[in-house]
Each structure stands twice: as structure tokens, then as C-alpha cells.
Amino acid sequence: IEMELSSVLRKHSRTIEGKQQLIINSFAKALEIIPRQLADNAGIDSTDVLNRLRKEHSAASDAGRWMGVDVLCEGGGTCDTFLAGVW
């Protein structure tokens, strides 16, 4: 959910001018620390995982809405967390 929030906030920050844009963008970047740390703790390359997650969450459809870090590494570092039952 953190990557989805980050994606929405980044899109919203592009519509705002001034310092508020920087603040919202920085908060969106801070939300990405959670999946990065999960990937690092699981021994997965966090840069690859974050790039995959950004790609999934930036897609026009809602298919990537629930994509998150797969700590079991069954899906290459990402999985649909809703289907996996991750709450």
C-alpha cells in the first residue's frame, strides 16, 4: 500500500506549485522506505524490487494496486499482496 500511496502523491504533487510540491514529493519518497527496507531485510535487491513496484503502480489499470514485496522470493521479489493475504 505504501507504493500505491507514493504513486498517487507523486501524481498529485505535479499539479501543485511552490514549496508544497516539494513537501508532498518528499513524503511520497519517504513512503518508499518501507518496501525498500522489507526487500533489504529479506536479502532481495531492493533497487530491482522498487523499480518493479513503481512500474506496476504507475500502470493505468488497477491491476498493480496491490503489488508489494514478496519476501519469500517466489515472484521475483514482487507479488499481489491481496491475493497472498498480506495485511
For 37-77, how does the pLDDT look when each residue is reduced to its tens digit (9 = 90+)? 999 999 999 999 999 999 888 886 777 888 999 988 776 78
The pTM score is 0.82
Taking the C-alpha atoms of residue 68 and residue 46, their distance in angstroms, rounded to an integer, is 12
- How wide is the angle at C-alpha 26 spanned by C-alphas 54 and 37, nearest 5°? 55
Q: What is the pLDDT of residue 84?
A: 87
pLDDT tens per residue across span 73-82? 776 788 888 8
Closest C-alpha to 35, from 21, 24, 49: 49
Angle between helices 33-41 and 2-13 (to 10 degrees): 150
